Amino acid sequence: MRRVLSLALLIVAMGSGPVAADVIGDAERGATLYKRQCSACHQIGPDAVNRVGPRLNGIFGRRAGALEDFKYSKPMARMGADGLTWTLDTLHAYVENPKALVSGTRMNYRGMADAEARGALLAYLREWSDKPQNIPEAEPTALKTNPDLSPAILALKGDADYGEYLAAECSTCHRADGSDQGIPAINGWPEEDFVVAMHAYKQKLRPHPVMQMMAGRLSNDEIAALAAWFATLD
């Protein structure tokens, strides 16, 4: 059986020196977490195959929705087409709250709130990626666990009437009748899901450049207002 090495012992290829153990995590603990929380749907290792979820070999540096022999959900395929790539940052955010990156994902997982546990799990997953220490996008320095949302932001009560006014610009792309014609429908989204998604664009975790620009223009109150308005629509 392949020996699991702690990523704390790896040297970052870009020359930043040894990786701190508290930044990445303990891969041996991650193997235990994977077995308990992930193995029912995903396989990893030399004989891994697709199950309910795709196999996780080579996940670091891979475009979302990229395995040709797995049928992804439409939202996951769209995010991959927009440029979402699995890196240390995006995987941290996805494992913490799957809907932070992929609204409508089929992944039936409530998320892992403990950052140390997430670091351990990702350390284990990196063991099964091809030379992961040499993937610049996954360099484990200056780790961000975006979207970094305070309870105060999530607790904002949006003004739906103001949101209706702001939504005029959204309807340029998103159909007012809620239909899905190549662009995801956003009518009827739960408010928290909408807020999390918009802040993920604002913090440039979600990769769509137009949505990054649009979200970057909005204040926290305006995002809350839009969330309140779209939640009222069928």
CATH number at residue 104: 1.10.760.10
The half-sphere exposure of 139 on its side-chain side, counting CA atoms within 13 A, is 13
Q: Do 113 and 165 belong together in one domain?
A: no
- Exposed e or buried b per residue across 203-230, where buried means at least 16 C-beta atoms within 10 angstroms of its C-beta: bbbbbbeebbebbeebebebbbbbbbbb
Query: In the listed set 91, 107, 138, which residue is the last one of a domain according to the structure?
Result: 138
Q: Do 169 and 225 belong together in one domain?
A: yes
The confidence score (pLDDT) of residue 11 equals 24
Give the chain's residues under pLDDT 70. Answer: 1-24, 131-148, 180-182
The confidence score (pLDDT) of residue 181 equals 67
Total domains in the fold of the chain: 2
The confidence score (pLDDT) of residue 169 equals 86
- What tokens appear for 86 in the block? 């699995």
The answer to whether residues 56 and 43 touch, using CB atoms and an 8 Å cutoff, is: yes
Q: Do 170 and 86 belong together in one domain?
A: no
Q: Do 181 and 108 belong together in one domain?
A: no
Q: Is residue 145 part of a domain?
A: no
The confidence score (pLDDT) of residue 206 equals 87
Dist. CA 44–CA 38, nearest whole Å:
10
Dist. CA 101–CA 94, nearest whole Å:
6
Could you list the residue range(s) of the whole structural domain that residue 180 is in? Answer: 151-231
Q: Do 124 and 86 belong together in one domain?
A: yes
